[in-house]
Amino acid sequence: MRGKMVSPVKYQARAPWKLVRIAVVCAIVLVDRPIVTRAQTITVDTRTGAITNTSTGETTATVDRRYQQITPTNIPLPNNELDAKTRLELIRVLQSEQGFAMRPFPKGHRGLTLVANGKLEPAGEGYLNMVTAEGISAKPGERVVLTDVKIEHAKIVFDLNGGPDHKHRFLRHIQVGTGPATVPIIQTDDPDPVGARLTLVFNGHLPELTGAQVKALLAPMISFDVKTPIQAFTDTLPPKLKEAILNHHVLVGMSTDMLLFAKGPPERKSREMEGQMPFEEWIYGKPPEEVQFVRINGNRVIRVEIARMGESPIIFTKDEVEGMMRTDGSPLNPARSSTRPVELGDVVRDPDTQAPLAPPSLRNPGESLPTNSGDGAMKPVQDPKPKPGLEPGVNPDAEPEAEPAAPADAPPTVKPAPADGTQPK
């Protein structure tokens, strides 16, 4: 007995077409674009923070070391937690708000972290290294815009000038396709972001704050006052340096930004070499007016020469700005303590080591009493003498009432003679 044999070909023909599926291979490829770089050598000045490209001689970034740390604020914070209504109100007030940067803002996804009523992180050398590595997004005195505000559990994240990230940070690195042909999901050629990020951190939870309180907490980093660009820039400087810029004076040690705010763009420029040191000469004024030759090396004024008609030129080479800048993170102008200890109650004084207290007096400090001789002698106080003939209860300082005038046709009044026969007065 023979069994039926089905050829493989026929068996394949009988197979239902519904079971035949077309496999589509979707490849997700991370795009690694090759970046062609050239070997460059940079020099970082640890005193001023200037970064110079030795191959081109150009200064790429400059950070003053006085920006290493901030002076903490002292804003009272409520204990109750932020509710949903206040959260929406806070976002509405802060979104798209404009201010002025009080110190350099670095680029980069990480950004800066400001503790409420506390310090800035990173600070010191870490802050300078971050600005050096990432680049500067906003210089002191430049306008910044809060383009995005995110409120989380115990912090508020602010994106400045568009933020440090692309709009599609992860999707722009993904491609989808079949086989070797892939297409990027995000097909845009957006330029690299130039914004910054600032995170305001609170302890434990986010308190119920108003927009004005948040702006006050951000005051060491961003000023929301209405100012002109020169006011916004000079408010970040010490008082003496601010006064020099507002009076259009040039000091040795100023940066090029300070020089531009003080004198404006130069009328002429010249590049020269002194030994192995290249420098630029910025020239202000024309004869017979006063002419100022400002010599700049890197990003600093190293020499100021003032020439007047008929006089010898005056040359300044001593750095006058370095002493005004802090380099250890201490405040620019440490606040003087206005408090002094006051001893209350019965204070026991040591007669051998402590002088007796001065008696109470109404005189100002340093004021002396008049002498007893001359016109300034003090005399005893005398009570005013009462006027005679006043009735009780009448004001002694009041003017006496005038007697009514007699009519014109009235007969003259004759006073009776006195009883003692004397002449009437």
Q: What is the pLDDT of residues 141-168, one digit of tens each?
A: 888 999 999 998 899 999 999 888 877 7
Task: Specify the range with the lowest mean pLDDT, choosing from 18-22, 31-35, 230-234.
Answer: 18-22
CA triplet 150, 153, 156: central angle to 5 degrees?
Answer: 35
Q: What is the CATH number of domain 237-321?
A: 3.30.1450.10
In this prediction the pTM is: 0.51
* Cα 111 from Cα 165, distance rounded (Å): 11
Model confidence at 30, pLDDT cuts 50, 70, 90, reads very low
Residues 6+ apart with CB under 8 A from 293: 281, 282, 283, 303, 304, 305, 306, 307
* Cα 331 from Cα 335, distance rounded (Å): 9
With 70 as the cut, is the pLDDT of residue 419 above it?
no
Note the pLDDT tens digit of each residue in 250-271: 999 998 989 998 999 999 999 9
88 membership: H or E segment, kind and range: helix 84-94
Domain boundaries, the chain: 63-167+189-230, 237-321
More confident residue, 171 or 403: 171
pLDDT of residue 327: 43
CB 84 within 8 A of CB 28: no
DSSP bridge partners of 177: 27, 182
pLDDT of residue 294: 95
DSSP bridge partners of 271: 280
134 membership: H or E segment, kind and range: helix 125-134
CB 143 within 8 A of CB 134: no
Q: What is the mean pLDDT of residues 365-376?
A: 66
Location of structure tokens 């030129």: 313
Cα 373 from chain centre: 60
Q: What is the mean pLDDT of residues 33-39?
A: 42
